[in-house]
Structure 1
Amino acid sequence: MKGIFVSGRYGSGKTAVCLAMALKLQAEGHQVRYFKPLGVMPAVVGREDEDVTLMQSVCGCALPHQQIVLMHSGPQYLSRYHRGEEYQASIIQAYRALAAHSDAVIVEGTTFLHIMASLSLDAPTLAQKMGVGCLLVSSVEDDYTVDRAILDCAFIQAKGARLVGVIFNNVPRPLLGKTEGVYRPLLEQRGIAVLGVMPKDTIIAVPTVRAYHDVLGGEILTGEEHLELLVEDVLVGAMSLEGALSYLRRAPNKAFITGGDRADLALAALETSTSVIILTGGLYPDVRVIYRAADKKVPVILVHHDTYSTIEKLREVSRKIRPGDARAINAAKRGFEAHVDWARLKELMLCP
């Protein structure tokens, strides 16, 4: 059994695919290791990579994180890293050490395939040097999805790496038919194997209230025991109370952002499908908001950013599966088993 390099753009669901593959290989009796040579610079210094924590738990491995994540990418990475050949050699050596003590190594790429290409540390170059194939995970949003997938596949092949194929992931239900009937044939006509079309599953694709708190910080005023609620939409409250209810009813399971001094809007939001109230400006709300939220089992988070800054920070929010999240782990496994051609994927993994 060889390794495989799982690549894809930010938010494509790479880690969920890596997780499901590891579980499948383990069920077949293989010893699996996980490698993520390029991590993302953590927002908080010293915070460990959550993907590594998850995959180490799944693989039953307790290696130090610094043996799994060797470098961290960021917009100013060239201020920190200079010697591309040395870093590349260290990454290949670390990969071979893992491969020597396992049956299969799942390598996960960073946020985009091209990251750190100036030092020859982009995903296709590393896959080519490791001698493993590249699996592209592509989330589906619209017709531009196909263009991005074709471009990414061309980049992988232009770098001399072997393209295993593509998995379309997080496909919205209304686009499932088009993905199967239009997107898949367009790629396969170009000789690109489409190995799966995985529907969007809110359990693993939609962030939780905890993910919002991890990014925003702030004080949890109530509902700390309900941080695993899913957040499917975000609404900002800056309207008059008269027009609020019809606006608020449009979005189920939402995060509602408003100033701490807008108790009227916060209370209105609590009468609709709301997963979390985020109060901005550091202004403590009327006590009625706390009592009503507690009664509704809705967390309330107080942040000291203004509303605009809070909305900007929400771009960093993503769904992270945690080691103890059996519901999400099982959902990732079920979706993979139901919608990915595992036999064909394994066959292509083993190709020279």
Structure 2
Amino acid sequence: MIGCFVTGTDTGVGKTLVSTGLLHALAPHHRRVVGMKPVAAGVVPWGEAWASEDAIALRSASTLAVAPELDNPVLLLDPLSPHIAAERAGVQIDIAAIVRSYQALAAQADAVVVEGAGGFHVPLTDTQTGADLAQALALPVVLVVGLRLGCLSHALLTAEAIRARGLVLVGWVANRVDPEMEAADENIAYLRARLGVPLLAEVPYQDLPDARSLVFELPGEWL
């Protein structure tokens, strides 16, 4: 079973776009491909229920339909940092329970793309962060870098934090989130030299992002 954990240099850098793009890229190679959003904060109407926009996007890109408690075990009403949204909802985010949901999901799938919330160290509780979740899942990590001023430091710090947890940074994605950014190519070149892992995709700026249009250089072991 192929799996990866998608994190980002910050919130709003395109993790969902990249995660859905990865699902589309994996689908020709694996029959049962599914996305997972372990923790989502903020909801929209979904049929007769509520759902996360991120989870809905992942479901639409998946070839395997599963129960919501498996692909989005923690759904919080307020679009806030998860630890605050959970406190307002009167719930405690349980990483061990999320891992059990992932294991049940992975048992049904050939490939799973797990999208984290916010940045790598986004708080999940008063004492645990997204880094603890990534470490518990023990999946190879894909880092999404939002190309904007300040991204170099954010990318290097996040890569350092990923490796400090004993996790494998399998590759990174450059997402041109700021169409006005100067020297974007030079920033990409710098990170190519410093991150030490393959650039899996360059995502052009799009007014209407289309995950199916993304072109990935997938690691050989994923094919």
Common topology (TM > 0.5): yes
1:87-106 to 2 correspondence within 5 Å? Answer: 87-106=94-113
Please list every run of 5 or more consecutive structure 1 residues that lacks an aligned counterpart in the other structure: 205-327
For the pair 1:199 / 2:204, whether they are aligned, the reply is yes
Give me the whole-angstrom Cα distance separating, in 2, the residues matched to 1:63 and 1:36. Answer: 12
Q: Which amino acid counterpart does residue 131 of structure 1 have in structure 2?
A: A
Residue 178 of structure 1 corresponds to which residue in structure 2? 186
Which structure: larger Rg? 1
1:12-27 to 2 correspondence within 5 Å? Answer: 12-27=13-28
Relative contact order, higher structure (CA 8 A, sep 6+): 2
Structure 2 length as normaliser, TM-score?
Answer: 0.81
Quick check: 1:41–1:74 contact (8 Å CA) kept in 2? Answer: no
For the pair 1:149 / 2:155, whether they are aligned, the reply is yes
C-alpha root-mean-square deviation of aligned residues, in Å? 2.7
Structure 1 length as normaliser, TM-score?
Answer: 0.53
Residues 14-35 of structure 1 deviation map (CA, whole Å, 9 limit, x = unaligned): 1111111111111124311111
Give me the whole-angstrom Cα distance separating, in 2, the residues matched to 1:56 and 1:43. Answer: 14
Runs of 4+ with deviation above 4 angstroms: 117-121
Deviation at 1:180, TM superposition (A): 3.5
1:261-300 to 2 correspondence within 5 Å? Answer: none
Deviation at 1:155, TM superposition (A): 1.5
Please list every run of 5 or more consecutive structure 2 residues that lacks an aligned counterpart in the other structure: 77-81
Aligned with residue 70 of structure 2, among 67, 73, 80: 67
Residue 264 of structure 1 corresponds to which residue in structure 2? none
Residue 147 of structure 2 corresponds to which residue in structure 1? 140
1:214-253 to 2 correspondence within 5 Å? Answer: none
Identical residues among aligned pairs (%): 26
Deviation at 1:64, TM superposition (A): 3.5
Deviation at 1:3, TM superposition (A): 0.7
Quick check: 1:6–1:135 contact (8 Å CA) kept in 2? Answer: yes
Give me the whole-angstrom Cα distance separating, in 2, the residues matched to 1:75 and 1:117. Answer: 8
Q: Which amino acid counterpart does residue 114 of structure 2 have in structure 1?
A: V
Quick check: 2:30–2:111 contact (8 Å CA) kept in 1? Answer: no
Aligned partner of residue 84 in structure 2, secondary structure = coil
Q: Which amino acid counterpart does residue 333 of structure 1 have in structure 2?
A: R
Residue 333 of structure 1 corresponds to which residue in structure 2? 212
Quick check: 2:30–2:110 contact (8 Å CA) kept in 1? Answer: no
Q: Which amino acid counterpart does residue 75 of structure 1 have in structure 2?
A: I
Quick check: 1:124–1:161 contact (8 Å CA) kept in 2? Answer: no
Residue 56 of structure 2 corresponds to which residue in structure 1? 53
Give me the whole-angstrom Cα distance separating, in 2, the residues matched to 1:197 and 1:138. Answer: 10
